[in-house]
Every structure is written in C-alpha cells, then in structure tokens.
Homo-oligomer: A and B are copies of this chain.
Amino acid sequence: MRSAAFDREQVLRAAMNAFMEKGYNKTSMQDLKRATNLHPGSIYCAFENKKGLLLAALEQYNQDRTAELKDIFAAQSRAKSGLQAYLDSIVSECISGDPTQACLSQKAINEIAQQDDEAQGVLSNQCTLWQRFMCEVFGQIEREGGLIGERSAEQRAQSLIVGIYGLRTYSQAQKDPKVISAIARQLLNDVCK
C-alpha cells in the first residue's frame, strides 16, 4: 500500500476556488491541474474524473462552511444576534464581489443540479442540513422571546434560506452595497415576524 503524497483538503480547497472562479463547465482540467498542482493522472486516480472532483470539493466546502456557520453562532450570546451576524457575513461576501467568496453549493445548484442526478442528490441533502440547522436556530430564538408571529421554525428557516439564495443572486445584478444590506435587514425582520 501507499498513501497519496498530496494533502487532500488543500487540494479540494484549491479545486473549490477554481470552480467558484469560472463555474464547473468553464473550469478545464488544465485549470484544475494548475490550481491543485496535481498531474492529470493523480486527479483521476484520486477522484475518478472531473465530476468526482467537484463532488469531493462540494463535500469539503459544505464541511468548511458548516464549521464557519457554527462558529458565528457560537460567538454570540443570543441566537438572534448570531443570525444577525450570519446575515452580515453574507452581505459582506455579496458586497466583496470576490468570486471565491460566493457560495459553491448555490453555484452548483444553478449550474448542474438540473443536469446531474448525483450532484442534485448531494446538493439537495446539503440544503436540507442547512435548513435543519436554521430550524434549531429559530427554536432557540423563540425560547429567547425574539420571535413575534406564529410561524413554525421550519417555515422561518425555509424563508431565510430562500432569502439568502435570492440575495446572492440579486447582488450579482445590483451591486449597490447599501441596497444589499437594506434587503438583508428586511429579511431578518420578515423572518422573525
């Protein structure tokens, strides 16, 4: 037996960035070779093919973002402040205009979920997990007395996720930072009402 010489996480993060810069279809194996410093044979040996590399990168991405998400909420004493901080972080990603700060999952949902059942399954699952986490957040906010209306935590989580997807798309067409943060503020408001 012999173990791979490269650092898998490091390679996957490099691939993530490449995919985020150009999207899946526009990113060539040449780009991925350059980004990862791996020879074609090594990539195929480790990930089977280009799609396999995307799926592995998607998994790593979700793992990284989930950790980040939990950190943001852990850093706040109240769940509602956590939600606010989370939305702020998304706003600053949107405003930055940096492609590598976009959401790889969302990009993949838009570019390939419709075309590939395996990717669709992975992405659908990631979305569900994200929603489940947000459900818990709203449960916590409710216990803290931070909610006004009668909606279930699940409905709120759904609306929040829809709003975040929409915000990320909208910010690519309308780049005014004030508008983006105003929309995010309104979203926070709507979702707690």
Contacts and interface: CB of A to CB of B under 8 A. Distances in A.
A183 B154 CA distance: 11
Interface string A63-77: 000000000000000
Contacts of A159: 183, 186-187, 190
A128 B172 contact: no
A159 to B, nearest CB: 6
A114 to B, nearest CB: 6
A99 B116 CA distance: 13
A127 B124 CA distance: 27
Interface string A168-193: 01101111000100110011001001
Contacts of A165: 165-166, 169-170
Contact of A110 (B120, B123, B172): B172
A172 B113 contact: yes
Contact of A115 (B22, B161, B175): B22
Copies of this chain, tallied across the complex: 2
Contacts of A167: 162, 166
A175 to B, nearest CB: 8
A115 B26 contact: yes
A186 B25 CA distance: 35
A173 B127 CA distance: 7
A150 to B, nearest CB: 12
A140 interface: no
Contacts of A127: 170, 173-174
10 contacts: A22-B115, A110-B110, A113-B173, A114-B172, A151-B186, A159-B183, A159-B187, A161-B166, A165-B165, A169-B169
A-B complex: 9 closest residue pairs judged by Cβ atoms: A166-B166, A162-B166, A25-B25, A165-B169, A165-B166, A127-B173, A110-B110, A190-B190, A113-B172
